[in-house]
Amino acid sequence: MREFAADWETLKSTDPEVAGAIASELERERTTLRLIASENYASPAVLAALASTMNNKYAEGYPGKRYYGGCEFVDVTESLAIERAERLFGAEHANVQPHAGAQANMAAYGAFLEPKNQEQKVLGMVLAHGGHLTHGSPVNFSGKWFTFVGYEVDKDTEVIDMDRVRDLSLEHRPKMILAGFTAYPRVIDFAAFRTIADEVGAIFMVDAAHFIGLVAGGAYPSPVPHADVVTFTTHKTLRGPRGAMILCRDQHAKAIDKAVFPMMQGGPLEHCIAAKAVCLKEAMQPDFADYAHRTVRTARALADGLAEEGLRLVSGGTDSHLALVDLQPIGMTGADAEKSCERVGIALNKNAIPFDPLPPATASGIRLGTPGPATLGMDEPEMKEVAHIIGEVLREPDEEAVGDRARARVRDLMKRFPAYP
């Protein structure tokens, strides 16, 4: 009998169309430079756990307290994930079951807030200034069911203005204050947020989806000592399977666990949870700290290189894994820049910038991140080269010779730093 059930050859013969698309995706990942700030390369060990028979198991409840029999082995992996998350981040309690970041945020709001209660406000960063859809956007459950008040970055510095956050908190007396971002290049002053939350008696929540892997590797400040609750996805800088987790203080553990199950979710995805345990073990190794620091170092090198190419960086640079470029001075939209880069094998995304006059589908900016290149081992010299390629492509997007040269340089770079060799 085999000890591992998933089988690639069987998939190829059972469903060649799906197998073909999966093989093409691997080839795309090997030949495209991944600068999408929210993406990464999960390790072969993480991918193996995802393809395991733990996919087959129903395990509603928590380790030791399940609504199904036969949970002795998924209890092992879920307990490992919980213990490792608590140890790695110094947290009092971890829930590793959220299927995704949106569900983790939904559970965190559900633990502390009543829906459609206008007295219970949440202060969060507005989407166009770096917040996430689930931080109160009117098209998302967060904005439809909960009462959000948005804070913005300062118009001149383009960083979060803590005096403004405090003024809004004193004015609105929110039940919850939320920090965290999807497109903000700087560090967040978690201690200052905590002080404001204490002043108005608010719960302090951090959505650390983007930067949690940097926290694990010691390359970004940890929100855990300051926040009541921290949510994050496991597939971005943390480099694990798609999914999410919630960390919280002991006093909130029961409310968080009940909000995840049975309030928001049914059966946990135990194969994903096994993969989360693996990625946490990887994140405890010394080479993960090297990767986290390389990620920030390369983001800085990329930002500096783009500035040398004459592009304007929102807030003037970065302290994290991502940079935001304002394309207004060169008269290009984010959507066009995204397409021009895609044509030469560079994947990045159009992004709204603070006070953006364009709608999000066009946008005046692009967001670039380095978790992917840092995982492949690229460092500052490669990012300088990439900045130069992007600079040329954006200056002459319609010049065929420029495109051809850029495409060849990207291919060469990906050969030197292969994905899944």
Residues with catalytic annotation? 58, 60, 207, 233, 236, 242
Helix (H) or strand (E) segment spanning residue 265? none
User: Which lies closer to ligand PLP via its Cβ, residue 159 or residue 410?
Assistant: 159
Residue 117: φ, ψ to 5°: -105, 105
CB of 31 to ligand PLP, least distance (A): 24
Q: Any contact of residue 38 with ligand PLP (CB under 6 A)?
A: yes
- Strand runs (DSSP E) across 104-222, as ranges? 121-125, 147-151, 176-180, 203-207
User: Which lies closer to ligand PLP via its Cβ, residue 35 or residue 394?
Assistant: 35
CB of 252 to ligand PLP, least distance (A): 19
Q: Give every CB contact of residue 11 below 8 A, 6+ residues apart in sequence.
A: 18, 19, 22
Q: Which residues within the stretch 143-202 sit at the binding site for ligand PLP (CB under 6 A)?
A: 180-182
Helix axes 400-416, 16-31, angle to 10 degrees: 100
Stretch near ligand PLP under the rule CB under 6 A, chosen from 159-167, 193-201, 203-211, 408-416: 203-211
Q: State the Cα–Cα distance between residues 352 and 360, nearest whole angstrom.
A: 6
Q: Give every CB contact of residue 47 below 8 A, 6+ residues apart in sequence.
A: 275
Instruction: Specify whether the CB–CB gap between 109 and 239 falls below 8 A.
Output: no
Token duo for residue 116: 């459609």
Stretch near ligand PLP under the rule CB under 6 A, chosen from 86-94, 205-213, 283-291, 368-376: 205-213
Q: Which of 390, 226, 420 is nearest to 302 (CA)?
A: 390
Q: State the Cα–Cα distance between residues 95 and 324, nearest whole angstrom.
A: 32
CB of 137 to ligand PLP, least distance (A): 11
Do strands 203-207 and 229-233 pair parallel, antiparallel, or not at all (unpaired)?
parallel
Burial 175-196 (b: 16+ CB within 10 A, else e): bbbbbbbbbbbbebbbebbbeb
Q: Which of 352, 135, 369 is nearest to 237 (CA)?
A: 369
User: Which lies closer to ligand PLP via its Cβ, residue 209 or residue 389?
Assistant: 209
Q: How many CB atoms lie within 10 A of CB 323?
A: 30
Q: Site mask, ligand PLP, residues 8-37, x = CB under 6 A?
A: ------------------------------
CB of 87 to ligand PLP, least distance (A): 23
Q: Site mask, ligand PLP, residues 98-137, x = CB under 6 A?
A: --xxx--x--------------------------x-x---
Q: Site mask, ligand PLP, residues 79-98, x = CB under 6 A?
A: --------------------
Number of residues that bind ligand PLP (CB under 6 A): 15
Residue nearest to ligand PLP according to CB distances in the complex: 101
Q: State the Cα–Cα distance between residues 86 and 280, nearest whole angstrom.
A: 10
Rule CB under 6 A: choose which of 210, 239, 294, 321 binds ligand PLP: 210
User: Which lies closer to ligand PLP via its Cβ, residue 96 or residue 413?
Assistant: 96
Q: Any contact of residue 372 with ligand PLP (CB under 6 A)?
A: no
User: Which lies closer to ligand PLP via its Cβ, residue 178 or residue 376?
Assistant: 178
Instruction: Specify whether the CB–CB gap between 180 and 38 falls below 8 A.
Output: no
CB of 124 to ligand PLP, least distance (A): 10
Q: Give every CB contact of residue 286 below 8 A, 6+ residues apart in sequence.
A: none
User: Which lies closer to ligand PLP via its Cβ, residue 193 or residue 394?
Assistant: 193
Q: State the Cα–Cα distance between residues 158 and 355, nearest whole angstrom.
A: 10
CB of 237 to ligand PLP, least distance (A): 11
CB of 105 to ligand PLP, least distance (A): 6
Q: State the Cα–Cα distance between residues 110 and 252, nearest whole angstrom.
A: 12
User: Which lies closer to ligand PLP via its Cβ, residue 137 or residue 340?
Assistant: 137
Token duo for residue 403: 């495109």
Q: Site mask, ligand PLP, residues 291-330, x = CB under 6 A?
A: ----------------------------------------
Rule CB under 6 A: choose which of 78, 152, 158, 207 binds ligand PLP: 207
User: Which lies closer to ligand PLP via its Cβ, residue 41 or residue 73?
Assistant: 41
CB of 48 to ligand PLP, least distance (A): 21
Chain residues binding ligand PLP by CB under 6 A are 38, 100-102, 105, 132, 134, 180-182, 207, 209-210, 233, 244
